[in-house]
Structures are given as C-alpha cells and as structure tokens.
Amino acid sequence: NAGVTQTPKFRILKIGQSMTLQCAQDMNHNYMYWYRQDPGMGLKLIYYSVGAGITDKGEVPNGYNVSRSTTEDFPLRLELAAPSQTSVYFCASSRGGGYAGNTIYFGEGSWLTVV
Amino acid sequence: GENVEQHPSTLSVQEGDSAVIKCTYSDSASNYFPWYKQELGKRPQLIIDIRSNVGEKKDQRIAVTLNKTAKHFSLHITETQPEDSAVYFCAAGPRTGNQFYFGTGTSLTVIP
C-alpha cells in the first residue's frame, strides 16, 4: 500500500514550457486534491476532484489544468510555466470530503522551479 | 466559503515548556477540525483531530480544544521536545463541504 505517489520529485522548467505532475493513489479514495505551498507559506488549493470525471477549481487554479479519468490518477498540467509557479506541489486524497473521519493523505511533494 | 485564521505564525519555546496554537473559523456549519504537522522537507501528516460534538481530545502530549460558540480551536503541546519542531496547520471541514480549509501554518521551534 503506497498511499499517494507523485512524480517527479524535483523539476526545473524554463519559462513557457509545459509539464505534467503525475499523482496516483491506491487507497480507493474518491476525493483527490492538488495544493501548492510557496516557501514559508501555507497550503493553497489549486484543483480538486470528488470522483472520476469530476473536477473543480480551488483557490488558485489559473495556469493549471487537471483531469480525472480514473479513481486512482489525478495529473496536474502546467501550461506556459511562469516564475510565479515556482513552488512545492502536493497531491492528496481522502475517502470523502471535508467532514468528520476523512483524513487527508498527502504525497511527498514535487519541488518545481521555473527559470 | 470557510475562512480559517491561525496564530501565531511563528512560535519559539524552550524544551519542556508548553506550546499553544490557535485557530478561528467563520462557518458555523464546520464540524471537523484536524491538525497536521509538517516537518522540514516532508509531507503534512495528521496528528490529531476533533469533531464538533467534542470539546477536548488528548493524545499523549498533544491535545486539541474546541469552542463552538466562539468558533475557535487550539492545539496544545506539553513537555515540548526538539522533534516537535515543525510547521503545524489547522483545518476546518464544513458538514456538507467537499474541501478542507487550511490555516496559514505555525512554525514551531523548540529550543534545546
């Protein structure tokens, strides 16, 4: 049982490039999330999904896209990378939404630098 | 939507002293309040949580208290140790919500 697995762990992008952060969970969780964490800052929700085929915007969705074709996978696409997207990205999952008993499990994080 | 505020943003304590981190929330419908610990370079992990029908919960040296009337909840760490040094996040979950709303984090440093 690997939990939440995200790749790559580190990546340097040039301005204007695009890339996809991969995320997979093996806990059969319905809910999946992408957060970004800027240095010394809190967690900001980019996108989330409540099930396969359903995605919704979070607090900071601009510059990103997601898809959820299966329960297990929730990739995050960065289009036209900008220096402001330099951050640590965490994928996470939970059995249900933000109510009692639904612990969020985080991946190990992906460190992205845009130069 | 829900708004969670967390204070202080940084906290330094001597080893063995207690540490208290406070959070307030705005949505009276929130009924679940977890706390996450994030060690340097690591992922956030759940350390304790409390539901709205409970006023206090303890787990060894950590405890969480909830005041629903005032809409605030607090994390208490007693007999702090250097390994307690980390960033702590509070969060709130509305009864019918799809999201968890996180506070901005508190960086705790325990000085040996």
Mean pLDDT per 10-residue run, chain B (112 residues)? Answer: 92 98 93 94 94 92 96 97 97 80 95 96
What pLDDT, on a 0 to 100 scale, did the predictor assign at position B102?
92
CA pseudo-torsion sign A41, B83, B55, B74: negative
The pLDDT of residue A100 is above 80: no
Given a contact cutoff of 8 angstroms between Cβ atoms, the answer to whether B64 and B75 are in contact is: yes
Question: Are A99 and B103 a contacting pair at CB < 8 A?
Answer: no
A71 three-class SS: coil
Which 3 state secondary structure label does DSSP give A83? helix
Tell me the pLDDT tens digit for each residue of A22-49: 999 999 999 999 999 998 788 999 999 9
Res. A3: pLDDT tops 90: yes
User: Searching chain A, which residue's CA lies closest to the CA of residue B39?
Assistant: A108
Contact B94 A58 (CB under 8 A): no
Task: Count other Cβ atoms within 10 Å, centred on residue A53.
Answer: 11
Chain A residues 50-79 with a CB less than 8 Å from chain B: 50, 56, 58
Percent of chain A exceeding pLDDT 70 equals 98
Highest mean pLDDT of the ranges A2-11, A94-103, B95-104: A2-11
DSSP state of A73: B
* Mutation site for B-interface testing, chosen from A34, A38, A43 by largest number of B Cβ within 10 Å: A43
Closest Cα of chain B to A42: distance in Å?
4
Nearest CA in chain B to A39: B41
Output the pLDDT for position B53.
86
**pLDDT for A77 beyond 80:** yes
For chain B, say whether A88 makes contact (Cβ under 8 Å).
Answer: no
Name the minimum distance, in Å, from the CA of B90 to any CA of chain A.
10
C-alpha to C-alpha distances, A70 to A34, A61, A100, nearest whole angstrom: 16, 21, 25
Pairing of strands B10-14, A4-7: unpaired
Cross-chain Cβ contact A108/B42 below 8 Å: yes
The pLDDT value recorded for residue A114 is: 97
List the single residue in A42, A106, A107 with the smallest CB-CB distance to B103.
Answer: A42
Q: Which of A45, A50, A100 sits opposite B32 (nearest CB)?
A: A100
pLDDT of residue A40: 79
pLDDT computed for residue B16 by the predictor:
98
pLDDT confidence of residue B97:
67
Say whether the peptide bond before residue B34 is cis (omega within 30 degrees of 0). no
